Structure 1
Amino acid sequence: MNLAMSEELADLSNYLIYSAMAVYSLAFLAHIAEWLFGSRSKVARTAAALTADSEAAAVPAQRSTISVTVRGKGGATDVLERPAVVTRSASPRRDAVPDGPGPSGGDEKGDLYGRIALSLTVLAFLMHFSAVLVRAIAVERAPWANMYEFSTAFSMTAVAAYLLFLLAKKNVGWLGLPLVTTVLLDLGLAVAVLYTESTQLVPALDSVWLWIHVALAITCGALMYLAVVSTVLFLFRDSYENKIASGGTPGRLATSVMERLPASVSLDKFAYRITAAVFPVWTFTIVAGAIWAENAWGRYWGWDPKEVWAFITWVAYAAYLHARATAGWKGRKAAYLGIAGFVCYLINYYGVNMFVNSLHSYSGV
């Protein structure tokens, strides 16, 4: 392909990214409308269920008597009354808490805005995907050889995963608003700070492992992002449910938002299942990186900062999965480890690439 055509295609890719950002912005506004105008009349069903359980738990234990006849000397009888205590459960069953009705609140108007938001997200994704594809054609290689390309491919993969979950009839509508918000931030940072002109590969990157290792790193990161969003929302929803279970009264805004989310148990399971499925792939990603390092630099492991932080990320997620299998570390404690794992992933990407001198500096801004 001649240089002029490559530059034209690269420019087209940039225009498609800008267009995708514009449509994502409209999707963001539609998601806001979905949350704002969704019915609040059906939102309190979980609160009512929890409040009813907590009120039942708060009822004093009923006392009844059991009559016992005791025959004494001379044939006399005495009737003794022994109290029988009937106890109630001190707390409601957390696993019985129903999921919320979703961001639209089950309201017709909210559902309309939700459908508009989803349609706009699909349209933006198609533009986004086209931008990444055209970039690949322009440079005649994998379109993730620098931070700009990695960022655009990362957010595209996250949106693709979200849409696939919806296509599989999974209840993940609550992911729409945080996802679109993050995608806009990611693309804004990519075009404003990380943008790199389309160029050919440096020798170290000219390998089939670019298609394997980096593609897997992008896929794992995108799925781990969805998991960490679920984990953060789990912490908020868990605090909300605990407050209701203890007899507290959350504010109206907190109720409106929290009751449209899945129950904390559902959010926790969603994050765990994604992480458990991704972890073996992330393990292979590190192994693939080591094989690539041996081909490029003649050693499998050299304690390069990128390699070290990839391993730290692996350890953090291994600790999270181990914690989930340990009775004393379920719930919030394990959730903190899951968040720490994704923070390590971000440090490995942004921190190492931008602020640390390493053999991976060729993938910089």
Structure 2
Amino acid sequence: MAALSDQLLVVAIMAYLVAMICHAAEYAFGNRSALGRAAIRPARELVGVGARTGDGGVKTGEGDPKSAGTDSPPTKKGRDVLLGRAAVVVTAVAALVHLAVLVTRGIAADRMPWGNMYEFVLTGTFVGVVAWLFMLYRHPTIRHLGLFVALVMVLLLGLAGLVLYTPVVPLVPALNSYWFIIHISTITISSGIFVLGAVPATMYLIRSGYEQGKRSFPYTLGRRVPAAAELERLTFRLHAFSFPIWTFAVIAGAIWAEAAWGRYWGWDPKEIWAFISWVVYAGYLHARATPSVKRSVATWIAIIGFLTMLVNLFGVNFFSSDSLHSYASVE
């Protein structure tokens, strides 16, 4: 079963890669190509925006910041729509294969597949892609974000398979507790959704710049994604959903630490960075709820929170040798 799980991981990565290519083809070569049109649009079109027209009106071309983001959807289904739908179908198939990776890994280990860094990344990315498919079902207009979601899946799963891979081994004694399921499941769910939330957060900043009239890279990537306001709302909803789960996971981890090591808090690097992430994400939600704080500033705080999670996951495990959580690193 362990060998089958490894083989299925390769299949899942390839499927996510195919989905990413389909999304990229829709994004770049569809009827309303974002990258192609932005690249070939003559500069004089941008200069001429705002000029008076013959009927006394004002020309509001694509270079006008006020008109950015108001592109009307295509009136008929073209190849870009077919490519987009194919990308969604392939992503769903990849998610099923991804699930099979986890199931076969769990059967091979005779436990839940959450015992080390490799398995944590596999599970967290699966949570993220399931959440993405659910959001896409509820809000089909966000489909163009699929390119960046698939890219994240390919990168993280590729990293897991090439760098983080750990053979199937029994759980260390410290993990043989009912708190294993409680703590690890909640920390994995919240981490997966936080990772997903970083996608609309990043694209919000890019789209916002595009709507302000910026036409250099990376702002040209923002033309086909949803409007900045919609991306910002999506970012908030994902973080607002995940933050209470993360809070519970941190508390559960402290209770488990007291049962396993005789103290709730020991300034372990993992504990410190988990708390730092909690503080940053709490700061994001507070900033988001404060009218005087710009939405772009709040979104940057959310992205900083994502970076602290990466430090906690990769930085601590790779560069800290005195963590009691060393059993969760690469062996």
Q: TM-score range by the shorter chain?
A: 0.7 to 0.9
Q: Tell me which of 286, 301, 308 is aligned to 1:337.
A: 301
Displacement of 1:292 after TM fit?
1.0
Q: Tell me which of 156, 173, 192 is aligned to 2:126.
A: 156
Q: Which structure is higher in strand share?
A: 1
Question: Is the contact made by 1:142 and 1:210 (CA closer than 8 Å) also made in structure 2?
Answer: no
Higher CA-based Rg: 1
Q: Tell me which of 221, 230, 234 is aligned to 1:270.
A: 234
Match of 1:208 in 2: 178
- Structure 1 residues not aligned, in runs of 5+: 1-8, 45-50, 59-91, 245-249
Displacement of 1:106 after TM fit?
6.8
Q: Indicate how the Cα distance of structure 1 residues 105 and 345 shifts in structure 2: closer, same or farther if over 3 A, else same.
A: farther
* Residue identity in the other structure for 1:11: A
Match of 1:15 in 2: 7
Task: Say which SS state the counterpart of residue 303 (structure 1) adopts.
Answer: coil
Q: Tell me which of 136, 147, 160 is aligned to 2:106.
A: 136
How far apart, CA to CA, are the structure 2 residues paired with 1:120 and 1:41?
A: 22
- Structure 2 residues not aligned, in runs of 5+: 38-45, 53-63
Q: Indicate how the Cα distance of structure 1 residues 105 and 197 shifts in structure 2: closer, same or farther if over 3 A, else same.
A: farther
How far apart, CA to CA, are the structure 2 residues paired with 1:236 and 1:42?
A: 13
* Residue identity in the other structure for 1:352: V
Displacement of 1:98 after TM fit?
5.7
How far apart, CA to CA, are the structure 2 residues paired with 1:31 and 1:166?
A: 14
How far apart, CA to CA, are the structure 2 residues paired with 1:223 and 1:100?
A: 30
Q: Indicate how the Cα distance of structure 1 residues 97 and 163 shifts in structure 2: closer, same or farther if over 3 A, else same.
A: same
* Residue identity in the other structure for 2:3: D
The alignment of Structure 1 onto Structure 2 pairs a total of residues equal to 308
1:219 has 2:186 as partner: no
Task: Say which SS state the counterpart of residue 164 (structure 2) adopts.
Answer: coil
1:321 has 2:285 as partner: yes
Q: Indicate how the Cα distance of structure 1 residues 42 and 182 shifts in structure 2: closer, same or farther if over 3 A, else same.
A: closer
Task: Say which SS state the counterpart of residue 243 (structure 1) adopts.
Answer: coil
1:346 has 2:316 as partner: no
- Percent identical: 42
Displacement of 1:286 after TM fit?
0.4
| TM-score, length basis structure 2 | 0.85
Displacement of 1:243 after TM fit?
2.3
Question: Is the contact made by 2:200 and 2:234 (CA closer than 8 Å) also made in structure 1?
Answer: yes
CA RMSD of aligned residues (A): 2.8
Name segments (4+ residues, structure 1) moved above 4 Å: 41-44, 96-102, 104-107, 251-255
Displacement of 1:258 after TM fit?
2.4
Match of 2:245 in 1: 281
Deviations 1:286-308 (A, max 9, x none): 00111111111111111111111
How far apart, CA to CA, are the structure 1 residues paired with 2:68 and 2:235?
A: 18
Q: Indicate how the Cα distance of structure 1 residues 174 and 41 shifts in structure 2: closer, same or farther if over 3 A, else same.
A: closer
How far apart, CA to CA, are the structure 2 residues paired with 1:204 and 1:333?
A: 41
Q: Tell me which of 107, 111, 117 is aligned to 2:87.
A: 117
Displacement of 1:18 after TM fit?
1.0
Q: Indicate how the Cα distance of structure 1 residues 100 and 304 shifts in structure 2: closer, same or farther if over 3 A, else same.
A: farther
Question: Is the contact made by 1:39 and 1:106 (CA closer than 8 Å) also made in structure 2?
Answer: no
How far apart, CA to CA, are the structure 1 residues paired with 2:34 and 2:166?
A: 49
Q: Tell me which of 20, 40, 51 is aligned to 1:28.
A: 20
Question: Is the contact made by 1:136 and 1:142 (CA closer than 8 Å) also made in structure 2?
Answer: yes
How far apart, CA to CA, are the structure 1 residues paired with 2:218 and 2:298?
A: 28
How far apart, CA to CA, are the structure 1 residues paired with 2:69 and 2:226?
A: 7
Question: Is the contact made by 1:99 and 1:266 (CA closer than 8 Å) also made in structure 2?
Answer: no
Q: Indicate how the Cα distance of structure 1 residues 41 and 303 shifts in structure 2: closer, same or farther if over 3 A, else same.
A: closer
Displacement of 1:30 after TM fit?
1.2
Displacement of 1:158 after TM fit?
1.0
